Amino acid sequence: METQTISAGISNVNNTRNNSFTSEESSISAVDIVLTVFKATTMVAIMAGAVLGNLLVISSVIKFERLRVLTNYFIVSLAFADLLVAMLVMPFNFSITILGKWIFGSVMCDIFNSNDVLFSTASILHLCCISMDRYIAIMHPLEYESKMTSRRVTIMIVLTWVASILISYIPIHSQLYTTEENYNDLQENPEECSFNVNRIYAAISSSVSFWIPCTIMIFVYVKIFIEARRQETQIKSSAYFSNGHRRADGASLSAVDNLERKSERKRMKREHKAAKTLASDPSGQALYGNGSDVKDNVQLPLDYTWNEKESAAPL
């Protein structure tokens, strides 16, 4: 009798545990479903916004003749690179996030990694070209038309894309970017698509894709900001001199002269504000707009060093 009672008690405990485990699993699965739906909705919205936004930029420059200036050639090429990111890179990231694994095979994994490096490198190099264009326009305005011709702008854009291809497709498809151990691991695990690089590629890729162009942009926009402050001082001194000259003469300027002076001061203030904006915005765009690429480029050498130490540690 006691044995039956004990057995019944044990079975009741087991049933209670099983019921609790089942309720926990159902609650966890419900939370996972909600998170997955939220992630999917957010990523689809980001992809749609990126596609529509960059198409709007490209179509605006094509449609309106006033926008077809040399500087906007860089803008269109940059928008095209960002458009390709939204169409050829983000969908694969979407599938990895939703499914939790890679389902497209090793060849598509190399293409995916190549496109990711290609377009992120092209974006940052385009920002560097835009900074050089603005530097010449603000620091040497009289020489701008002779230095920034359509031929030179075309050459700069072509070199930007060629450098991006050389740093992405060739080393990744030839497997020069990674270690032999990681290559064998990817062949044995087709559901993985990791991007582990060796020391040489980490140094070259991070330098070309981030460190060198960002160093150039920082230097250029510091110079532009200094020039903007100089223009601000010039505007203030010009206004002070104008008011003092008017009081010394004891006569007011004519209505036409007064309007011309006000128009000139407004123009100089607009140029000053534009120069200060140029000195702050693109550098922030390089860091914020390409945040994940910045993180990857900064961490590439660090990750390699850390992995190297772990593999060399005694077991």
Q: What is the dihedral of CA 188, 190, 194, 195, to 10 degrees?
A: 80
Residue-level pLDDT at 162 = 96
Phi, psi of 179 (to 5 degrees): -90, 160
Q: Rounded to the nearest 10 degrees, what angle do helices 150-173 and 105-139 cross at?
A: 150
Residue-level pLDDT at 224 = 87
Distance from first CA to last CA of the chain, Å, rounded?
A: 56
Residue-level pLDDT at 268 = 55
In the predicted model, what is the mean pLDDT of residues 163-187? 89
For residues 252 and 197, the answer to whether their CB atoms sit within 8 Å is no
CATH architecture of the domain with range 20-312:
Up-down Bundle (1.20)
Is pLDDT of 26 > 80?
no
In the predicted model, what is the mean pLDDT of residues 21-37? 67
Residue-level pLDDT at 288 = 42
* Domain regions of the chain by residue span: 20-312
Residue-level pLDDT at 160 = 96
Sign of CA dihedral 67, 70, 76, 82: negative
Residue 190 makes CB contacts below 8 A (sequence gap 6+) with 102, 105, 106
Is the model more confident about 158 or about 304?
A: 158
Write the burial class of residue 87 (CB in 10 Å: 0-12 exposed, 13-18 middle, 19+ buried): middle
pLDDT digits (tens, 9 = 90+) for 250-269: 444 455 555 655 665 555 55
In the predicted model, what is the mean pLDDT of residues 270-275? 52
Is pLDDT of 180 > 90?
no
d(CA 16, CA 18): 5
Is the model more confident about 139 or about 301?
A: 139
- The label of the residue with tokens 């020391």 reads 199
Complete DSSP assignment for the chain: -HHHHHHHHHHHHHHHHHHHHHHHHHHHHHHHHHHHHHHHHHHHHHHHHHHHHHHHHHHHHHH-GGG-SHHHHHHHHHHHHHHHHHHHTHHHHHHHHHHSS--SHHHHHHHHHHHHHHHHHHHHHHHHHHHHHHHHHHH-GGGHHHHS-HHHHHHHHHHHHHHHHHHHHHHHHTT-SS-HHHHHHHHH-TT-------HHHHHHHHIIIIIHHHHHHHHHHHHHHHHHHHHHHHHHHHHHHHHHHHHHHTSPPPHHHHHHHHHHHHHHHHHHHHHHHHHHHHHHHHHHTTHHHHHHHHHHHHHHHHHHHHHHS--
Residue 144 makes CB contacts below 8 A (sequence gap 6+) with 136, 137
Residue-level pLDDT at 212 = 93
Residue-level pLDDT at 265 = 58
Residue-level pLDDT at 294 = 47
Is pLDDT of 292 > 50?
no
In the predicted model, what is the mean pLDDT of residues 118-123? 94
In the predicted model, what is the mean pLDDT of residues 40-60? 93
What is the share, in percent, of the chain residues with pLDDT greater than 70? 66
Between 17-31, 76-90, 160-174, 272-286, the lowest mean confidence (pLDDT) is in 272-286
Residue-level pLDDT at 37 = 87
What is the share, in percent, of the chain residues with pLDDT greater than 90? 38
Structure tokens at 151: 């031929």
In the predicted model, what is the mean pLDDT of residues 236-263? 56
Complete DSSP assignment for 175-200: T-SS-HHHHHHHHH-TT-------HH
What pTM was computed for the model? Answer: 0.71
Residue-level pLDDT at 253 = 46
Q: Rounded to the nearest 10 degrees, what angle do helices 199-206 and 291-312 cross at?
A: 160
- Residue 82, CA distances (Å) to 10, 140, 158, 182, 215 in order: 63, 30, 16, 29, 22
Residue-level pLDDT at 154 = 94
Q: What is the overall mean pLDDT for the chain?
A: 76
In the predicted model, what is the mean pLDDT of residues 190-217? 90
